[in-house]
Amino acid sequence: MSSNDAASKSRFLVLHDYGMGGVWWWIQARSAREILETFAWIEVITDPETLARQERDGELEEVDIDAPRMPPGLDGLRATRHTQRGRPGFGALADRDVVYLRRRWDEEGDEGDEDPAVYLMEVSSDGRRVRQVELAEDGTAVKSGPDDWPFNPPIVDLFDPELVGLQIGRDEFEEQWARARQLDVDR
């Protein structure tokens, strides 16, 4: 790397939020967009309070985006992004403020029973749910929002080319939202 390359880079705080925790790094890169295009499931943190806290308290690993080797965790996120790049749909949803998706999940219940459901999700530009409708096979629909979830990590990476095929229109989402009943949450 030439000194000119180093001069054109800035230091960015990034987070890989996996739900019950997260891993943080400082990355030297030319832009936040370059980081998002290079690593899957990464957020570039811009909140001044968080930046100041990590500067003051954190002893985070700092890496250069052009380094041939990445620390554990970050290496896998770069490999994931590398496999996505060049596939049709890569990054097609990345610049949208809101995306509506339909995903089917077949989760194992406590007794091994399958409880398949379709989830309609309104997702913000950071990959987090804003609102969600769960459609059960019996036709019932249950809606929920951030106040109903104990935590709300990113659930999609908007650069992922597979998401393009899961898109639905806002009208379809809103229609299901309007007919769904509110989630009953034990508080």
% of the chain with per-residue pLDDT over 90: 78
Q: Three-state DSSP class for 94? A: coil
62-64 and 98-108 as β-strands: parallel, antiparallel, unpaired? unpaired
Checking if the pLDDT of 143 tops 60, the result is yes
Checking if the pLDDT of 112 tops 70, the result is no
pLDDT at 63: 97
pLDDT digits (tens, 9 = 90+) for 27-39: 999 999 999 999 9
* Phi, psi dihedral angles at 173 (to 5 degrees): -60, -50
Mean pLDDT of 4-19: 84
Q: Tokens for 106, please give them.
A: 């077949």
- pTM score: 0.85
Chain-wide mean pLDDT for the chain? 90
